[in-house]
Amino acid sequence: MAIGERILALRRELEPRGCRLIAVSKTQPVERIMEAYAAGQRGFGENKVQELVKKHEAMPKDIEWHMIGHLQTNKVKLLAPVVALVHSVDSVGLLAEISKHGEKVGRVVPCLLQVHIAAEKEKFGFEEPEVIDLLTSGTMTRFPFLRIEGLMGMATRTQEPGQLQQEFRRLRGLREALRATKLPDHVSMKELSMGMSDDYAIALEEGSTMVRIGTGIFGTRPPRDDLSNI
C-alpha cells in the first residue's frame, strides 16, 4: 500500500471513534511526508527539535507539527514559535521553560503531560502522584503561557495485549480521576495521546484521542545520520 492509502485507511478506522492520526515523520524526507500531505494529512510528529523546525520551514504552513520526543530545556526556544502541541512534557523545569518562551513569542503553547506507564524504567514521564500533585498544588499558576490539554503515555514494548491494555487503561483512569477534580485554569483533560504502530488498536479500544503512527504509514525508518537527507 502506498503512503496515501495507509493514511486514508487509518483515518477511516480512527475518526469515527473520535481519534486523530498523528503521522510520525521523524527521519523521513520531505518528499515522503508530502505524499501523506497530498492524502490530506496535516498532523505530523517529530522527536528532534532541529528536524521539526527545518521541516516547518520547508513545508506548507497549514501543517501542524507535534513534538513527541524527549525535550531538552535548551531547545524550547526554537520550538515555542512553531509547535502545535508538545506531547512530551515530563518535568516542571520544562513547563517553566515553555511558558517563558511562550511569553516571549506571544503565544500560549499547547502541551500534554507525559506520564510514565511502561514497566521499563528508561522511558520518560511524570509518575502518577507527581501529575496529581502538579495539578492540585497551585504550581500551574506559575506557567500562564502554556495550556495543558491532556496526557500522553508510551506503553511497554511487549506483544502481550493484556499488559498493553492494562497500561493504557491506567492512563485513561488517571485522566478520569483528574477530570473529576477542579482543574486549574489553562488545564483540560480532553486529550489522551497513546498508541503507536504496533499497539494503536488496543489504545483505541482504551479511549485514545490521538495515535502516533510512524512505521505503519511510512514503512521502516531511514537511519538518522544528519539533516542533509531531509
Residues that bind ligand PLP (CB under 6 A): 24, 26, 47, 68-69, 154, 196-198, 212-216
The closest residue (CB) to ligand PLP is: 214
User: Least Å distance between CB 159 and ligand PLP?
Assistant: 13
Of 91 and 136, nearer to ligand PLP (C-beta) is 91
Of 142 and 221, nearer to ligand PLP (C-beta) is 221
CA pair distance 66, 47, nearest whole angstrom:
8
Of 24 and 76, nearer to ligand PLP (C-beta) is 24
Beta bridge mates, 66 = 45, 85
User: Least Å distance between CB 195 and ligand PLP?
Assistant: 8
CA pair distance 132, 111, nearest whole angstrom:
16
Question: Pairing between strand 187-193 and 85-89?
Answer: unpaired
Residue in 30, 38, 27, 31 with CA at minimum distance from that of residue 4: 38
User: Least Å distance between CB 178 and ligand PLP?
Assistant: 21
CA pair distance 221, 25, nearest whole angstrom:
9
User: Least Å distance between CB 83 and ligand PLP?
Assistant: 14
30-38 and 3-14 helices cross at what angle (nearest 10)? 50
